[in-house]
Amino acid sequence: MKHGAFVGRLDHDRIVAAIRAAEDRSRGEIRVHVSRQSVTDPEKAAAAQFEKLGMTKTAERSGVLLFVAPASQRFAVVGDRGIHERCGPGFWTEVAAAMEADFRQGRFTDGIVKGVTKAGDALAEHFPRTGSPDVNELSDEVSED
């Protein structure tokens, strides 16, 4: 699928609302990125984009990135060191699986929202909100390259 067609089918407001709802329950950060590039290794591309977006600079290393490359019909979910150490590699596969069924049916927003929600559940468990105010360290908007 072409990048523009994919992005045009996304409900950005609904995705941003899901990110904000997930982040309201934790001290973590979630981003969604849609790439114009065709990728053969989505995990590697996601890791590179994670760095470019400055996601390794969060205070608790609790960032999660949902990376989608519609031109190659691939996606990946990656997390920073803090959340990865608590959830393990199998968790990222679970999040991707939660998204995949909707993606296969062309329900891209639904799939992304499910991924954001599942990642938010893990962040809430491992990085729950405390009494002090949380700072939103990263943009909640869907980014593109």
Residue 1, pLDDT > 80, answer: no
Give me the percent of the chain exceeding a pLDDT of 90.
85
The pLDDT score that the predictor gives to residue 43 is: 95
Is pLDDT above 90 for 9? Answer: no
- Residue 130 pLDDT greater than 90, yes or no: no
Neighbours of 118 (CB within 10 A): 21
Q: Which of 2-11, 53-62, 70-79 has the lowest mean pLDDT?
A: 2-11
Looking at the predicted structure, is the pLDDT value of residue 71 above 80? Answer: yes
Which position has the token pair 């990263």? Answer: 138
pTM here is 0.94
Give the distance from CA 97 to its chain's centroid.
Answer: 13
CA dihedral 66, 72, 73, 77 (to 10 degrees): -20
Tens of pLDDT, residues 19-70: 999 999 999 999 999 999 999 999 999 999 999 999 999 999 999 999 999 9
Taking the domains of the chain in order of start, what are their residue ranges? 3-126
**Binning pLDDT at 50, 70 and 90, where does residue 89 land?**
confident
Residue 134 contacts residue 126 (beta carbons within 8 Å): no
Residue 112 confidence (pLDDT) above 90: yes
* 3-126 topology per CATH: Diaminopimelate Epimerase; Chain A, domain 1 (3.10.310)
